[in-house]
Amino acid sequence: MQDLIATLQVNAPRAVFLNVMPALPTIVTAAALNAGHPNQLAAVLLAGLVGALIGDLVQYWCGRRFGRRILALVCKISFSPDFCVARPRPC
């Protein structure tokens, strides 16, 4: 677990990028279905971008503000508390 934490601390942007990629098929499908309507195509792509930014910013803010409490709660209800983060600390 410590290796994972160390890796995420060093490679956080890559991890976030790879984690966001599963939303791509929805955007591609919507774009393909609206290919005949250029104005709607731009709106679909813009909606995907704005939605991803808002969702990610809210989650980032919650992690910065409540991250320690959330990790403590997850560790309390975890089936395997051995894998819990011992003491989260700010970067």
DSSP state of 22: G
Task: Decide if 74 is inside a domain.
Answer: no
Q: For residue 56, what are the domain limits?
A: 2-64
Task: Decide if 71 is inside a domain.
Answer: no
pLDDT score at 72: 81
Task: Decide if 20 is inside a domain.
Answer: yes
pLDDT score at 83: 65
Count of domains observed in the chain: 1
Q: Which two tokens stand for residue 89?
A: 């600390």
Task: Decide if 33 is inside a domain.
Answer: yes
3-state SS of 48-86 is HHHHHHHHHHHHHHHHHHHHHHHHHHHHHHCCCHHHCCC
Task: Decide if 69 is inside a domain.
Answer: no
Least confident of 25-34, 62-71, 82-91: 82-91
Task: List, for residues 6-58, the tens digit of each pLDDT value.
Answer: 777 788 888 777 777 777 777 778 878 877 787 777 787 788 788 888 988 99
pLDDT score at 17: 79
The Cα 21–Cα 43 span in angstroms is 20
Task: Decide if 19 is inside a domain.
Answer: yes
Task: Decide if 85 is inside a domain.
Answer: no
Ramachandran region of residue 85, left (φ > 0), alpha (ψ -120 to 50) or beta?
A: beta
